[in-house]
A and B are shown apart, each in its own frame.
Chain A
Amino acid sequence: NAGVTQTPKFQVLKTGQSMTLQCAQDMNHNSMYWYRQDPGMGLRLIYYSASEGTTDKGEVPNGYNVSRLNKREFSLRLESAAPSQTSVYFCASSEWGQGSGYGYTFGSGTRLTVV
C-alpha cells in the first residue's frame, strides 16, 4: 500500500546509546518531516526537509540529526540518547504548494523508551 513506512515500531535504548529511525515514502512527495509526540504537548516538529538535499530545524531539534538520503527516505538519528527523548516519533510527508493543503501523510510511529 502507498504511504509512509517507519521502522522500528518500538525501541528501548540505554542512556548514551545511539540509533537511527528510518522513514520512507512512496508517494513522490517533496517534503518530509519528523515530529515527536509527548503527553499534553501535542506533536512538535523536530526537523523537516522541504526537498531532496535540504534539511532545516524545527521547534525541538536539540539532540537529533537528520539525513535526507534521497527523495524517498528521511532518517532521524539520536547520537547519545537521553531519558528526555523518550517519546513517540512520527515521520510524515507532503506535497508542495496548493497540494500541501491536503495535509500530511503520516507513518505509524515509533515508540522510543530511553532508560
Chain B
Amino acid sequence: GAGVSQSPSNKVTEKGKDVELRCDPISGHTALYWYRQRLGQGLEFLIYFQGNSAPDKSGLPSDRFSAERTGESVSTLTIQRTQQEDSAVYLCASSAQPFGYGYTFGSGTRLTVV
C-alpha cells in the first residue's frame, strides 16, 4: 500500500484480556519495527524484523508480549493478560533499508486497558 497501515486505530480492553495489534507495512519494505509510546514520553523500541532473519526481541518488556511476521508481510503484536501499564500508543514502522534510513510510521494503535 501507499503507507503503513495499523489496525485497530483504537482498542479498549479489560485488564487480563489478550489483544492483537496488526501492522501492514509498505510493500517491498524488508524491515519492520514496533515501538511503544506512553503518554507524554518518547518512543520505546519493542521488536525489529528484517526479512527472514531472527527478530531482535530485545525491547519486549515481558513475556506477555510477542510478535510475529511471515516473510515481508503483515506483522501482529500480541499482548497477553493485559495490564493497565500496557496502555499506550503502539507504533509500527517499515523501512526499505535496515539501518534507520527512510522509516515510515503508521498512525498507531491507541490501547487503553481498563
Please indicate whether A and B come from the same complex rather than being unrelated chains: no
Q: Which A residues form the contact surface with B (CB < 8 A)?
A: none
B residues apposed to A, CB below 8 Å: none
